[in-house]
Structure 1
Amino acid sequence: IEVTTYRSEAYDRTSRKPEVSYGDSIEEDLVRRDFTVNAMAVALPEKEFVDPHGGLEDLAARVLRTPGTPEASFSDDPLRMMRAARFAAQLDFEVAPEVVTAMKEMSERIEIVSAERVRDELNKLILSAHPRKGLTLMVDTGLAERVFPELPALRLESDEHHRHKDVYEHTLIVLEQAMALEENGPDLTLRLAALLHDIGKPRTRRFEGDGRVSFHHHEVVGAKMTKKRMTALKYSNELVKDVSRLVELHLRFHGYGTGEWTDSAVRRYVRDAGPLLDRLHKLTRSDCTTRNKRKAAALSRAYDGLEERIAQLQEQEELDSIRPDLDGNQIMEILGVGPGPVIGNAYKHMLELRLEHGPMEHDAAVAALKEWWAAQG
């Protein structure tokens, strides 16, 4: 419980940080609130309900409305526009038409808000029960263009000659399908990866001669764009690294086809995913949004098969902690060489052999190392 007297505020247009002073009435205090549903009070000890802005009615109607004019509210604190989108997503409320109009007209005001505050609101929105609702509102009002421009850029225009999936709609479906696979509550890493997995498509779109549209290497371009946007929003280095890696790897499975990968390719898939393997499984499964039931079933069966092979190899070989059959000390002893770059190169060579052929007997590993050493001259 926070105990204080009434407050009032005055804002400078160049900042969202107000000059706070003490006020004279509860009504003056409540008009400072973001939305009418949060501008209600109970006076003690008489227990009188105070609701000068009709918050109870808006609560019953599940509507977000500002206590004063939305223009004055957003001019004072532009982050309230992000909060409107966030609360719509968290509470599944509608945003009043006049509030939406003000968001459209004043979206550029969000640029005076720090990246950290925008990021925190975006996280709460993405982790909510209905993120599509908040993200759609951000895109439709122009807010996303200011803080997350890669999202509205997915709304690629299509015409009768160049038909292709609506990448923006596809992305929102992938996000929702990824959410359905979560096992231990909302997963920010997985949800961000789902939201960002195709952001490289606008930059890589090509119209082919046969009328098809291609997006070659969009996963590589998308990983770089993900790193740049998340860094600008001041995400932690670890989260930037993980989400970018998932974006980079999200298409790898499609080379699996009907199961023709070698054990070596499966080992590399697991090694490259590392601790993100479980999330990569979920992201890849979520990325199937085709309405062709036969195609969707075939993709699901293929991924089932890949997961089974991974499980079998993990049981046999401890894939999660895959190492060469000889460690650095053994390599130095066998070659009679001290620490240095050559030992690192030898280690990499032995790791490649391990990935390619699986575990080797000690004598075979020693022979393979000596053969490599002889080839080095």
Structure 2
Amino acid sequence: MARKIQLNEVETKFVGLLDDFAGRLNPPVECRIAGGWVRDKLLSLPSHDLDIALSIPSGHLFAVDFVNYLKTKDIATGSVGKVAANPEQSKHLETGTTRILGLECDFVGLRSETYADSRIPQVKPGTPFEDASRRDLTINALFYNVHTREVEDYTQRGLSDLDNKIACTPLPPKQTFQDDPLRILRCIRFASRFNLTIEGHVIEAIKEEEVKAAIATKVSKERIGIEVTKMLQHDPFRAMSLIELLGLHPHVFACDVNPPRQTAFASAQILHHLSKRLFVDEMLWLATAATPFDNVTVKRKGKDQPAAGILSTEIKNAVTNVFEASRLADPEATVRSEIGTWMQNPAVKPWQRSLTWSAVMEILPKWTGGWDEHAEGIVTRYERFRSKIEELGLPDSIDKPLLLNGTELQQLLSISPSPLLQTIRQALNVWQLDHPEGSKEECEAWLQHQWNGEGRAEWESKSQTKKIVKGEKRKR
């Protein structure tokens, strides 16, 4: 018996209009909604992005004509955008993109793909079976026929794999992944999102060294970063667990250097435990991936740069300052100004993130794979630290601007822009936290008193740039 999908009111109207328009053409055009929308509807999940696969090559020309037809029905639409299948290929394969009835729609011809040395395929018009076969997983290869209102399963196992929560490729997995290694990451993303079991022969194909190695050689770091970010949005610990199980960490997070990777999954395990008690966000999951690169540098244009910062744009954004900020946290601090100095550091926003990461890094050196008294003692101290921060009302102080900006400080003390100015600003942070009701005039008076007394020598000493010996590691 054919599988049907329950459409909502908007989808019913859209499908009816598309069916009517396509049937008026000479010859009529077959329209199928493909992939993710079909999967999500079968799982009763909301979905507003529709990929419409057509029996003609040009999705763009079809979309233009369809939008003009909708205008005769007084239905508002967005303008039609154009995406080329491949810049060097002919225009007959162009995709048309537009917004109709609040639905984001991509119109594209059914196609087949052949690969050479690149993950960018040579594309030509294809049959529904060829189009389904080129996709990453069988659960993403389903079609919804707009005319029959039925689901089509050309791989003969997409529906059963969805029912049984199985991740399997339409073609032999080694071929699927060698054609486009990004599909390995997509397999992990969907397996973690929908709690799928990856089939054994798929796992074995991924574990082959030549298959894994192609991730770093064929896929850009930016594209890897985007896919990793997506896989962390639903069940990040399962995603990290699959990366560990499949031995993918050195290939997904490739760098000029290849340090031992054990700390990545260990920190992910710790973070998974902490997620029940402390603040955890996507940035912290990305930071676990970069843990093996903490304190590791690589040469770039003759200069040493943090290795974690070149893994990908997403990783760089996640770990910039996170490691350093975690070193500033002192869970034994009790004085408002001591805690506030850490919280007001630009690296610590949001403050909960660095507090959690500080706990991870303190637990990590003695982590044995399971929660123990040592880990419990550390997280308990950080929970008390968090409570103290909240009791003092410090979270409300983070966004409060300094009473004096940089220009006003320069004028008040007759100084020029320099590292000294930043040191004074940090001292001003502390004063404001100790004097939450202090006025601007009181602040100016305190600064001038410090400048004319012992404060100036202390500030000048703190602002002296430390000379780094070549090859010296930054200390925790």
Compute the TM-score of the two structures, normalised by the length of structure 2: 0.58
Tell me how far apart the structure 2 counterparts of residues 316 and 52 of structure 1 sit (CA, whole Å): 56
* Residue 344 of structure 2, aligned match among 253, 266, 271: 271
State yes or no: 1:227 paired with 2:227: no
Alpha-carbon spacing, 1:81–1:141, altered in 2? closer, same or farther (3 Å): same
State yes or no: 1:31 paired with 2:111: no
SS in 2 for 1:21: strand
State yes or no: 1:171 paired with 2:267: yes
Tell me how far apart the structure 2 counterparts of residues 200 and 33 of structure 1 sit (CA, whole Å): 37
SS in 2 for 1:13: coil
More helix by share: 1
> 1:200 deviation in Å?
3.0
Alpha-carbon spacing, 1:95–1:11, altered in 2? closer, same or farther (3 Å): same
- The superposition leaves residues 30-89 of structure 1 with CA deviations (integer Å, 9 ceiling, x where unpaired) of 112211112223445334543232112212221111111112212222211111111111
2:322 aligned residue: 246
State yes or no: 1:352 paired with 2:427: yes
2:246 aligned residue: 141
* Residue 294 of structure 2, aligned match among 200, 210, 227: 200
Task: Tell me if the contact between 2:182 and 2:224 (Cα under 8 Å) persists in the aligned partners.
Answer: yes
Tell me how far apart the structure 2 counterparts of residues 30 and 292 of structure 1 sit (CA, whole Å): 45
2:416 aligned residue: 340
Tell me how far apart the structure 1 counterparts of residues 194 and 401 of structure 2 sit (CA, whole Å): 45
The residue type equivalent to 1:100 in the other structure is I
Tell me how far apart the structure 2 counterparts of residues 168 and 149 of structure 1 sit (CA, whole Å): 13
Alpha-carbon spacing, 1:351–1:49, altered in 2? closer, same or farther (3 Å): closer
1:211 aligned residue: none
Tell me how far apart the structure 2 counterparts of residues 14 and 308 of structure 1 sit (CA, whole Å): 56
Alpha-carbon spacing, 1:101–1:15, altered in 2? closer, same or farther (3 Å): same
1:302-321 aligned within 5 A: 302-314=381-393, 318=397, 320-321=399-400
1:103-122 aligned within 5 A: 103-105=206-208, 106-110=211-215, 111-122=217-228
Alpha-carbon spacing, 1:46–1:317, altered in 2? closer, same or farther (3 Å): closer
Alpha-carbon spacing, 1:274–1:294, altered in 2? closer, same or farther (3 Å): closer
Q: What is the CA RMSD across the aligned residues, in angstroms?
A: 3.9
Gaps of 5+ in 2: 1-49, 56-108, 298-304, 461-476
Same amino acid, percent of matched pairs: 22
SS in 2 for 1:16: coil
Alpha-carbon spacing, 1:267–1:95, altered in 2? closer, same or farther (3 Å): same
Alpha-carbon spacing, 1:234–1:317, altered in 2? closer, same or farther (3 Å): closer
The residue type equivalent to 1:246 in the other structure is V
Task: Tell me if the contact between 2:334 and 2:388 (Cα under 8 Å) persists in the aligned partners.
Answer: no
Task: Tell me if the contact between 1:174 and 1:194 (Cα under 8 Å) persists in the aligned partners.
Answer: no
Tell me how far apart the structure 2 counterparts of residues 317 and 115 of structure 1 sit (CA, whole Å): 38
Alpha-carbon spacing, 1:18–1:374, altered in 2? closer, same or farther (3 Å): closer
Task: Tell me if the contact between 2:169 and 2:176 (Cα under 8 Å) persists in the aligned partners.
Answer: yes
Compute the TM-score of the two structures, normalised by the length of structure 1: 0.71
Tell me how far apart the structure 1 counterparts of residues 170 and 143 of structure 2 sit (CA, whole Å): 13
Alpha-carbon spacing, 1:242–1:89, altered in 2? closer, same or farther (3 Å): closer
SS in 1 for 2:320: helix
- The superposition leaves residues 152-190 of structure 1 with CA deviations (integer Å, 9 ceiling, x where unpaired) of 95555xxxxxxxxxx45531222323544587xx83223
Alpha-carbon spacing, 1:301–1:21, altered in 2? closer, same or farther (3 Å): closer
SS in 1 for 2:160: helix
Tell me how far apart the structure 1 counterparts of residues 206 and 272 of structure 2 sit (CA, whole Å): 25
The residue type equivalent to 2:241 in the other structure is T
Tell me how far apart the structure 2 counterparts of residues 199 and 26 of structure 1 sit (CA, whole Å): 46
2:54 aligned residue: 4
2:191 aligned residue: 88
* Residue 179 of structure 2, aligned match among 73, 76, 94: 76
> 1:242 deviation in Å?
5.3
* Residue 167 of structure 2, aligned match among 64, 68, 75: 64
Alpha-carbon spacing, 1:330–1:317, altered in 2? closer, same or farther (3 Å): farther
Tell me how far apart the structure 2 counterparts of residues 294 and 37 of structure 1 sit (CA, whole Å): 44
More strand by share: 2
The residue type equivalent to 2:199 in the other structure is A
Alpha-carbon spacing, 1:142–1:152, altered in 2? closer, same or farther (3 Å): farther
Tell me how far apart the structure 2 counterparts of residues 37 and 49 of structure 1 sit (CA, whole Å): 12
Task: Tell me if the contact between 1:179 and 1:191 (Cα under 8 Å) persists in the aligned partners.
Answer: no
SS in 2 for 1:371: coil
The residue type equivalent to 2:166 in the other structure is V
Tell me how far apart the structure 1 counterparts of residues 260 and 122 of structure 2 sit (CA, whole Å): 40
Task: Tell me if the contact between 1:270 and 1:319 (Cα under 8 Å) persists in the aligned partners.
Answer: yes
Alpha-carbon spacing, 1:373–1:281, altered in 2? closer, same or farther (3 Å): closer
Aligned length: 330
Tell me how far apart the structure 2 counterparts of residues 332 and 326 of structure 1 sit (CA, whole Å): 10
Tell me how far apart the structure 1 counterparts of residues 228 and 376 of structure 2 sit (CA, whole Å): 34
